[in-house]
Structure 1
Amino acid sequence: MVVLKIRDQPSLLKAIFNVDPDEVRSLIFKKEDVNVQDNEKRTPLHAAAYLGDAEIIELLILSGARVNAKDNKWLTPLHRAVASCSEEAVQVNEVNAYGNTPLHLACYNGQDVVVGELIQAGASVNQGALCQDLLLAHGAHINLKSKDGKTPLHMAATHGRFSCSQTLIQNGADVDGEDKSRNTALHIAARFGHELIITALIKHGANTVKRGVHGMLPLHLAALSGFSDCCRKLLSSGFVIDTPDDFGRTCLHAAAAGGNLECLNLLLNIGADFNRKDNFGRAPLHYASANCNYQCVFALVGSGASVNELDQRGCSPLHYAAAADTEGKCVEYLLRNDANPGVRDKQGYSAVHYASAYGRTLCLELIASVRPLDVLLETSGAEVLRDVESQAPLSPLHLAAYHGHCGALEVLLASLLDVDVRSPDGRTPLSLACSRGHQECASLLLHHSASPMARDYIHKKTALHAAAMNGHLECLHLLMSHNNQHINVDAQDTSGQTPLMLAVLSGHTECVYSLLSQGACVGTQDRWGRTALHRGAVTGQDECVEALLQRGAGVCVKDIRGRTPLHLASACGHMGVLSTLLQNAGAFPPDTHLTDNQGYTPLHWACYNGYDACVE
């Protein structure tokens, strides 16, 4: 539901929410629309009904308010009134978008007085209503299901209404009825930790080994949610403790993921297999580590769980802990128990890579204290790149720089030798940091002598290109103010594009001005003979074009097809740019001479593409 600010609403709604009948009466007299709707299609009557003010409701109805108006969720003013305990009634069997009547909502909120009023007004009690004795006395269908397949017993189990559930069971409720997720009331009670309801359901024959959502047993759900008392109740009924769900996960996997030590120990003490793997090759220790459940990690390792067991992705528990452990407790304990930080997954990533990608600075420090990172990663450079089997697509430096994790980057830079280590396509960590706009990371890399002019292998772009094309002004300033190395602001990539051209192409005006202030050449042409001004003309970047013209960019410079910026602005219909170009063209040759290689003038192109304004 969208919550709207009262101060932004029409006067009538303000008066209603201020519960001011006199102001409402005054506004209605002034012809204020009583059926005005907000973005959720709620009317003033919806608001009045929700607040339960009978006087205002009567005023609105007498003034023509539509009593059965439905909002986006098919809720009428009556639904709103019932949900907020008002006893007014209009059409008592009106159904909302979820198939619920006002009676459903009253029962759901436990409003017995409202329920009584609704039944007296003729509400149907046979549409899945829930209010125990009152409804049952009026002939409610006890096993009727809602749209999502839930019976009244499911609802009682959800909210822990023990007496209600007892009444339903005693009156013939189906204890093993499934909702659309395959869950029974026992699954629901286990999920929400309602021990008394679990006891009642088991006593009346509920199936404790019935599979619910994803093939989970009620015990899976109790263990996952950390309700140890519920686990004991479910265990007392007896079944195979290592029964897997649809994904091969046992109840011990669920307990490890949920993080409740009491549940975990309960299962371990009755013989749950702590090394059993699910369909993904993960043991309970993988889940405990991934969820940073230190006590569960401690208990599993203490029970003999293997700390270096790999799943199908080649990940050990340490990989998952390194990615998630902000406090470092799980990582420290795993390392202390001989977890190998050098193990790489099937993509070639180690725990160092995972910690770097997720910015877990403390985890990196812990790993470095066990084994120097340069040794662990074989100096992160040439040796790794030569070893095809152990080669990761990206180094830890790349991952930390790309995601902007400055703390992790600092730890890595204190250990790693090659600050300009390359990715498979030749990009450096500095290039990635600049492409993402991570100014602090870029500054740190430059401080450690990263090269701003290092080019990638494919497009031959530098960090300058990366910052300019993505509009990251601060990174651009950092690169150009770097005094230790020669900076070529006119460096060209394989297509002959300069950082200035790329900044203009994407309309990054501030970057354009910054590059120009550092002496970027406006007349440089790419491999097709196009200048930065050609790019501004074709993309309609008015401000960039102005900046280039102020620096003397040539309006009549032709590309290899003989087309000038005037041709391109005309062909693309950018009237503002065309006007600026014409004003700055000066005394250029007549149109007969301003032709491209096909003999077309800018006028031809404007006419051909139907840009009347440009033609004029």
Structure 2
Amino acid sequence: MASMEEKAGMEPGRQQLNAKEVPTTCLGTQGCFFRRSRRQRNTSLSMELIEAAEEGEVTRIQRLVKRGADVNVGDPDRQGNSALHQAVLKGHADVVQLLLNAGSQINCKNQDGDTPLHCAASSNMQGILKLLVNYSGCSINAKNYELIEAAEEGEVTRIQRLVKRGADVNVGDPDRQGNSALHQAVLKGHADVVQLLLNAGSQINCKNQDGDTPLHCAASSNMQGILKLLVNYSGCSINAKNYHGDTALHCAARCGHTDVARYLISLPGIQVNMKNNLGYTALHISAAACRCDLVNMFLEDDGCQLDSRNKHGNTPLHEAAMNGCVDVVRQLVNANCDVKAENKDGNTPLHSAAWGGHCEVTRLLITGGTNINARNSNGDTPLHVAAQMGHSEVAHTLIHAGCHLNILNYDNMTARDICQDHKDDSHKEIVAEIDSITRIKNDTATRSLADIVLIEIKGVLSDESLWKLSKCIGSEWDAMMVYLGFHQMDIVRVRLEFFCDMNLQIYSLLKEWRNRTPPAQEKLGILADALREVGRKDLAENLLIGIVSEPPGEETQI
């Protein structure tokens, strides 16, 4: 830019040229001002036109249109409504006709995307609705919107008229989750409209935004009559999946509609074991929701796979156990579901019950024959899981059912170790429970076993001796009984008979073993070997101490 000194030295011609630039710029600005004033005046007329349309002032509207008001301008203060929108909303049919004749766009949209036809439909302006529908250029989609609304309201005559005028029966409404007229009729329970739309060409398997067909909608809404109507119509896909992978049977199970589910299961070709995107069957869903009625219905179906796995590897029994569904767990256990099934993390249903803190479910699974010491992919037993979650009642149940207390997980921690990392009362209770059951280890206690296990000259173990021994063995007893020749079912049997009393369980089997094994001297050797097998050398040695400490001449050779 030139300095003041440079300007002073400029040639006269250059100075004159710059001087002429000033009025040119002013003229340009003045011209813009005139143009803006003209636009502002037109906008003002248009806003006045919208107000006149709202008030139904025909003469004023005619004058404003003649003066150049734009009939298609929207008012930001009225949700972007044009004069035509406002006339429709206020029910001024004469103004609507006048504005259309003056060039109003019949399919113009406000800020919400609504056309004047939408406004007429939502405001129940039937006369104006007819006027708009019959006007040249009215969008077919607008007619479709009206058709969907008519289907929702169950207006048969109106639907017939719209279909006759070319409304597409298969168009979905974005404001209704993409539902077609058929979807809406099903959801509202209008069976006559459903039949009418099917006859008019509605696609029976059309899908909305979620991939639901009308059959999905009928199942979810418990519309059993309409569901039967759809199923009996040609081409209905009873196993169609939505975008979540759910069939109509999944929907019925999730919503707890037993009668609908029963009807669907009875249909030839129904696939009761079909899985959704998460791998859930309808039985999984029913079991997780504690729906005994639905579960029983699936159990009665010979084709139902009771131990089907979802994406996590869970069976229906896992789902029921996790959610504390006592009655459903009982149903599934009685139906011989796999109580030892492991999911992808190695968890059995007993792990799931322990995680959820469900004591009664824990008892049912133990009596059902599950492996009480099963380890998951982290090496955790159900007792570890109960300890992690601080479920002291579940831990109590597991401990008194005879679970092993000293198993290390892959972090080299016992259940007791886990509890010691916590200071709350529930974890302290578990520690106390474990300590009260822990085997006798101190020298005084083990040495006194020589007095507890009294071996007579003939080598016969008395009931009293076996009872005292049963109180010393501890949580390794089941492995010891297997060594002594008992089967797993024998162990389950005594657990059922003497539930939550480990001493009685051990004592009962020790008596059975004593009474059936030959001869008396061999019993002691076998029992000592069994104790060593499960890591109880202290008890085995003290059995021998009891024998060799007998008076001379009365030794019993092992």
Cα distance per residue 1:469-507 (max 9 Å; x no partner): 56643233233244543399xxxxxxxxxxxxxxxxxxx
Q: Give distance in 2, aligned partners of 1:300 and 1:486.
A: 55
Aligned residues: 351
CA distance in 2, matches of 1:200, 1:468: 77
CA distance 1:155–1:406, change in 2 (3 Å) = farther
Confirm or deny that 1:415 pairs with 2:353.
no
Question: Deviation of residue 226 (structure 1)?
Answer: 4.6
Q: What is the one-letter code of the residue matched to 1:473?
A: D
Check if 1:307 corresponds to 2:268.
no
| Pairing of 1:167-566 with structure 2 (within 5 A) | 167-172=128-133, 176-177=140-141, 184-187=145-148, 190=151, 201-202=162-163, 204-213=165-174, 216-224=179-187, 226-245=189-208, 249-271=212-234, 272-278=236-242, 282-304=246-268, 305-311=270-276, 314-324=279-289, 326-338=290-302, 339-371=304-336, 373=337, 376-377=338-339, 379-380=340-341, 393-450=346-403, 453-457=406-410, 459-464=411-416, 466-467=418-419, 469=421, 472-482=424-434, 484-486=436-438
Structure 2 counterpart of 1:131: 89
Alpha-carbon deviation of 1:402? 2.1
User: What is the CA-CA distance between 1:209 and the residue it aligns to?
Assistant: 0.7
CA RMSD of aligned residues (A): 4.1
Distance 1:209 1:443, change over 3 A: same
State the alpha-carbon separation in 1 of the partners of residues 421 and 352 from structure 2: 21
The answer to whether the Cα contact below 8 Å between 1:357 and 1:403 also exists between their aligned partners in 2 is: yes
Bigger shift: 136-145 or 314-323? 136-145
Scaled by the length of structure 2, what TM-score is found?
0.52
Q: Please report how far the alpha carbon of residue 222 of structure 1 lies from its aligned counterpart in structure 2 after TM superposition.
A: 3.6
Q: Which amino acid aligns with 1:133?
A: G
Amino acid aligned to 1:408: V
Determine if contact 2:287/2:317 at 8 Å carries over to the other structure: yes
Query: Against the structure 1 CA distance between its residues 124 and 209, is the aligned structure 2 distance closer, same or farther, given a 3 Å change threshold?
Result: closer
Quote the offset at 1:322 in angstroms: 1.7
Aligned-residue offset at 1:247: 6.2
Change (3 A) 1:409 1:347: same
Q: Which runs of 5+ in 2 are unaligned?
A: 1-74, 441-558
How far apart are 1:433 and its partner, in Å?
3.5
Q: Secondary structure at the match of 1:301?
A: helix
Question: Contact conserved, 1:142 with 1:168, CA < 8 A, in 2?
Answer: no
1:433-480 CA-partner distances (Å, limit 9, x unpaired): 3433445444443443445654321x2334445456566432332332
Q: Secondary structure at the match of 2:91?
A: helix
Aligned pairs for 1:590-609 within 5 A? none
Q: 1:354 to 1:125 in 2, by over 3 A?
A: same
Retained in 1: the 8 A contact 2:419–2:430?
Answer: no
- Does the CA contact (< 8 Å) of 1:394 and 1:424 recur in 2? yes
Contact 1:136 / 1:142 at 8 angstroms: preserved in 2? no
Higher helix share: 2
Post-superposition offset of 1:261:
0.7
Distance, in Å, in 1 between the alignment partners of 2:88 and 2:419 is 62
Higher relative contact order (CA 8 A, sep 6+): 2
Kept in 2: contact 1:157–1:186 (CA 8 A): no
Aligned residues: percent identity?
Answer: 26
Map 1:23-102 onto structure 2 (within 5 A). Answer: 101=77
1:128/1:143 contact within 8 Å kept: no
AA partner of residue 131 (structure 1):
L
Is the Cα–Cα contact under 8 Å of residues 157 and 189 in structure 1 kept in the other structure? no
TM-superposed CA distance for 1:336, in Å, is 0.8
- Specify whether residues 454 and 224 from structure 1 end up closer, same or farther in structure 2 by C-alpha distance, changes over 3 A only: farther
Q: Structure 1 unaligned segments of length 5 or more: list them.
A: 1-98, 105-122, 385-389, 489-616
Using a 3 Å threshold, how does the CA distance of structure 1 residues 124 and 175 change in structure 2: closer, same or farther? closer
Distance, in Å, in 2 between the alignment partners of 1:470 and 1:146 is 62
Per-residue displacement from partner, 1:562-582 (whole Å, max 9, x unpaired)?
xxxxxxxxxxxxxxxxxxxxx
| Secondary structure in 2 matching 1:419 | coil
With over 3 angstroms needed to count, the CA separation of the structure-2 counterparts of 1:313 and 1:360, relative to structure 1, is: same
Distance 2:219 2:291 in 1: 18
Q: CA deviation at 1:224?
A: 4.6
Could you list the per-position Cα deviations for residues 499-558 of structure 1 after superposition, in whole angstroms to 9, with x for gaps in the alignment? xxxxxxxxxxxxxxxxxxxxxxxxxxxxxxxxxxxxxxxxxxxxxxxxxxxxxxxxxxxx
Change (3 A) 1:311 1:327: closer
Contact 1:175 1:206 in 2 (8 A): no
Instruction: Say if 1:125 and 1:290 are closer, same or farther in 2 by CA, change over 3 A.
Output: same
Q: Do the aligned partners of 1:226 and 1:259 also contact (CA within 8 Å) in 2? A: no
- Tell me the TM-score normalized by structure 1: 0.48
Conserved in 2, the CA contact under 8 Å of 1:455 and 1:462? yes
Q: Quickly say closer, same or farther: Cα 1:187–1:422, change in 2 above 3 A.
A: farther
Q: CA deviation at 1:252?
A: 1.8
Question: Matches of 2:437 and 2:149 in 1, distance apart?
Answer: 66
Instruction: Give 1:477's aligned amino acid.
Output: E
